Amino acid sequence: MHLKIFNTLKHSVEDFKPSDKHKVKLYTCGPTVYNHVHIGNLRSYINADVLKRALEFNGYAVDWVMNVTDVDDKTINNTIQEFGKEASVAELKTFTSKYFETFLEDLGKININKKDISFVKVTEKIADIQDFIMALIKKGYAYKTDDGSTYFSIEKYQKDFGDYGNLVGEKFLEGRKIGARVKVDEYDKDNLSDFALWKAHEQDNANIFWEHQDLGPGHPGWHIECSLINYLKFPEGTDIHTGGVDLIFPHHTNEIAQAQPIYKPFVNYWVHSEHIMVNGTKMAKSVGNFYVLKDLAEEKIADGLSLRYLVLQSHYRSRLNVTKESLLAAKNGYENIVKGVAALKNRLQDFDPNVGVVSDMYFEKFKDALNDDINTPEALAVFHELLKSKLPDDEKLQTIYKMDEVLGLNLENAELAETELNASEFPAELKALYQKRLEARENKDFDLSDKLRKEIEALGYKIVDTKERMQIYKS
Ligand code: AMP
Ligand code: ZN
């Protein structure tokens, strides 16, 4: 089956055809580096990575670009909180670099190879952004106001192009008034307005600003960076542009509007990943209902690869509700896969992945699932069928490795490592001590709890206490 993908712009699943037969130009909206990213953000990058790997599976070379938002309202505010009211551009860069580094660490943990991505930091492209805005002014699509900021004119754009908001829906503008202005980076559909391309410097921005003889001192609005970076990297047009669904409006809608007066085609396929939810609400820093990978790893509730496994279990266009229980279930599920693959490897000491045979039957089914709008739950079902199958060990392992090129679960490195034991696996002597220690913990009898820990350890087990649970490992 040929690769099909849902294109938000067309509101339908389409056959994927890149502009160049062999190469795909892929752009992903990257992180705003003002804090640790949460696992909702990571879901959008895992989905982009799986898409990239699926493209490679189909024989394309992928050129993958990601912007890094290291200047916007949030990065400026947090820099000022850390460095004070005189904070400078240099301090903004120091502050955001720290969170760019933690982002790269997180990418490594979810098995995204940072070397596969060309990152572009916004603060390194300020002069290009200024030029881009000046070009929009010259063509009549942008105007400067009395407050010194420069805005994009939706009215002018709509008159010439007639497609503002098509990414949301073709009737997006019906019944809406245009002409008001909005300076903040984030706003909703009810506040449709001309948006800021260049924001005049204010006292609240400390010393974080860039000069320009026509635009005046200020910093770029959020949306312009992606139009510009796509243009710099892929001046002939981007094949696929990804991001979370919250970016459809206003961010991606505005990207299209800013870009098209300068160059067209801008983007051929828009691919949006649904949200991670908590109790029915989108996971977000602003709501405070977010989990950060580092904390989940400390609590032993998830690690990068088990999160990746959880994400693969849902289709990228479906919402994914997470709880600590579902994260833990994914961790156990992932550890079981690792155990199975490690045992298979142990049985095949002389296995050479360069000469093995891949099972056509499983491989074709797997590829069909992926090519059907990146149906990872279906692909995982085929993968599990393979694990349970009676294929000869070497063929099975070879096929596992082949599938893992897309799944990215790092199974080639599967080791029979220390894995947490399920209570159902406890031998009788451990079970009794475990129960007693649970009770001791509940009764806050710490002396007894310590004594029981030693007894359990003497049997050859390791205990990890978390806030919620007592975990037992074979040491
Ligand atoms: P930001 O750093 O806020 O620009 O977000 C980075 C990426 O994460 C964007 O593609 C967002 O659409 C995406 N994103 C934000 N919140 C969530 C969430 N709860 N679930 C999935 N993706 C999200
Ligand atoms: Zn963007």
**CA of residue 321 to ligand 1 center, whole Å:** 15
Q: Is the distance from the beta carbon of residue 227 to the nearest atom of ligand 1 less than 6 Å? A: no
Task: Take atom 15 of ligand 1 and give the residue whose Cα is closest.
Answer: 41
Question: Which atom of ligand 1 is found nearest the CA of 243?
Answer: 10
- Residue 178's pLDDT is 76
Cα(240) to centroid(ligand 2), Å? 13
Ligand 1 close to Cβ of residue 18 (< 6 A):
no
The Cα 364–Cα 444 span in angstroms is: 56
Distance (angstroms) between ligand 2 centre and the Cα of 471 equals: 41
Atom of ligand 1 lying closest to residue 28 CA:
10
Going from the Cα of 210 to the center of ligand 2, the distance in angstroms, rounded, reads: 21
77 CA to centre of ligand 2 in angstroms = 20
| Ligand 2 center–CA 225 separation, angstroms | 7
Q: Does the beta carbon of 32 lie inside 6 Å of ligand 1? A: yes
Start-end of H helices in 58-88: 73-83
CA of 113 to the centre of ligand 2 (A): 20
| pLDDT value of residue 66 | 98
How far is it, in rounded angstroms, from Cα 384 to Cα 307? 18
Neighbours of ion ligand 2 (CB under 5 A): 29, 226
Tell whether ligand 1 has an atom less than 6 A from the beta carbon of residue 31.
yes
Angle at 121 between CA 104 and CA 137, to 5 degrees: 155
8 A C-beta contact, residue 292 and residue 31: no
Ligand that lies nearest to the alpha carbon of residue 230, given by its number in the listed order: 2
Count, residues in the chain: 475
Cα 82 to Cα 86, 284, 430, distances in angstroms: 11, 22, 50
**Residue 29 in contact with ligand 1 by CB distance below 6 A:** yes
Q: Which residue among 37, 110, 246 is best mutated to probe the pocket of ligand 1, counting the most ligand atoms within 8 A of its Cβ?
A: 246
261 preceded by a cis bond (ω within 30 of 0): no
Alpha carbons within 13 angstroms on the beta-carbon side of residue 241 total 28
Q: Which residues pair with 118 in a beta bridge?
A: 65
CB–CB of 151/345 below 8 Å? no
The pLDDT value recorded for residue 417 is: 57
pLDDT tens per residue, the chain (475 residues)? 899 999 999 999 999 999 999 999 999 999 999 999 999 999 999 999 999 999 999 999 999 999 999 999 999 999 999 999 999 999 999 999 999 999 999 999 999 999 999 999 999 999 999 999 999 999 999 999 999 999 999 999 999 999 999 999 988 888 887 767 878 777 776 668 899 999 999 999 999 999 999 999 999 999 999 999 999 999 999 999 999 999 999 999 999 999 999 999 999 999 999 999 999 999 999 999 999 999 999 999 999 999 999 999 999 999 999 999 999 999 999 999 999 999 899 888 778 877 789 999 999 999 999 999 999 999 999 999 999 999 999 999 999 999 999 999 999 988 865 567 888 888 888 999 999 999 999 899 999 999 999 999 888 887 877 667 788 877 6
pLDDT of residue 473: 78
**Domains of the chain listed by start with CATH number:** 4-273 (3.40.50.620), 289-413 (1.20.120), 423-474 (no CATH)
Say which ligand is closest to the CA of 243.
Answer: 1
Alpha helices in 72-125 (DSSP H): 73-83, 89-109
Residue 117 CA: distances (Å) to CA of 49, 75, 370: 10, 22, 22
| Residue type at 226 in one-letter notation | C
From the CA of 29, give the closest atom in ligand 1.
Answer: 10
Which residue from 427, 429, 428, 440 is spatially nearest to 470, judged by alpha carbons?
A: 440
The contacts of residue 10 (CB under 8 Å, 6+ apart) are: none
Q: For residue 419, what pLDDT is reported?
A: 62
CB of 41 closer than 6 A to ligand 1?
yes
- The answer to whether the CB of 247 is under 6 A from ligand 1 is yes
**Which residue has its alpha carbon closest to ligand 1 atom 14?**
41
Please give the Cα distance from 322 to 311 (Å, whole number). Answer: 10
d(CA 459, CA 428): 12
Which atom of ligand 1 lies nearest, measured to the CA of 276? Answer: 20
- Closest of 224, 201, 84, 38 to residue 141, by C-alpha: 224
Q: Is 43 in the pocket of ligand 1 (CB under 6 A)?
A: yes
**By the 8 A CB rule, do 166 and 9 touch?**
yes
- Give the pLDDT confidence score for residue 185 in this predicted structure: 79
Q: Whose CA is nearest to atom 17 of ligand 1?
A: 40
d(CA 118, CA 233): 9
The counts of H helices and E strands in the chain are 15, 17
Distance (Å) from CA 165 to ligand 1 centroid: 20
Ligand number nearest to the C-alpha of 277: 1
Is the minimum distance from the CB of 282 to ligand 1 under 6 angstroms?
Answer: yes
